[in-house]
Amino acid sequence: MGKDVIIACDFPSRQEVLAFLDRFAGEERKPFVKIGMELFYAEGPEIVREIKARGHKIFLDLKLHDIPNTVMKAMRVLSGLDVDLCNLHAAGTVAMMKAALEGLTRPDGTRPLLIAVTQLTSTDQQSMEEDLLIREPIEKVVRHYAQKAREAGLDGVVCSPRESAEVKEACGKEFLTVTPGVRFADGDTGDQKRVMTPAQAKEIGSDYIVVGRPITGAADPVAAYRRCVAEFLD
């Protein structure tokens, strides 16, 4: 898969997400979509199958984080949903990430891409130090987690666009960076603290950007998506 814009379909129900995706029925480019906890917990695996049947690539964003054996078994289930990309927390350790890869890999050797969350884009230096008791600079923490994900054999990481270039430097150009926290220059940053525009994310080398409210909350979501694609890909 090449670089792309991923729409975060953070809707509470099947009806709402399908009504949203219906807006793109006439588009030549089928949007790559992210299904997160809210929708997955509300509708279960069937919503993944239904959206996949419509021809969309899917990033299943469940951020697994548990003991290695539990994560391995969970990934074995997720590998049967034919998603294109899924994730876990790098903080679960190299052992957990290796177990996840084992569970995700099908008998024929194929598997979805697997990436690790480094630090959530809602986390800043102050909250990391005060809430998580991590005293190192956030850039150093993200770099370390990325290197551990690469050591475990993962395909890339989720990180802020601000850390994408440093991750590439530490882990190689082929190591994927999937970057949420992307907002239009004239948009509201909401609860995100480490943000960039699509054009800035392109400039520093992000492979995928994840964009939610600037598209899903727009008066014209299709136009907002096209704008995002134009700024990031064209």
Class of the domain covering 4-232 = alpha beta
pLDDT in tens, 91-138: 999 999 999 999 999 999 999 999 999 988 788 899 999 999 999 998
Q: What's the CA gap between 93 and 71, in Å, rounded? A: 12
pLDDT in tens, 142-160: 999 999 999 999 999 998 8
Residue pair 111/122 in contact by the 8 Å Cβ criterion: no
The dihedral built from the CA positions of residue 209, 215, 220 and 222, taken in this order, carries a sign that is positive
The pTM of the full predicted model, rounded to 2 decimals, is 0.92
57, 63, 98, 202: the active-site residue: 63
**Residue spans of the chain under pLDDT 50:** 192
Residue with tokens 């230096």: 125
Residue pair 159/135 in contact by the 8 Å Cβ criterion: no
Res 163: pLDDT: 86
Computed over its alpha carbons, how large is the radius of gyration of the chain?
A: 17
Residue with tokens 């909401």: 190
Among 51, 25, 53, residue whose Cα is nearest residue 40:
51
Q: Where are the beta strands (DSSP E) in the chain?
A: 4-8, 32-35, 58-64, 85-89, 113-117, 156-158, 176-179, 208-211
For the chain, the structural domain boundaries read 4-232
Res 190: pLDDT: 58
CA 72, distance to chain mean position in Å, is: 19
Res 186: pLDDT: 80
Active site annotation includes 63: yes
Is 86 exposed, middle or buried, given 0-12, 13-18 or 19+ CB atoms closer than 10 A?
buried
Residue pair 26/221 in contact by the 8 Å Cβ criterion: no
Res 122: pLDDT: 81
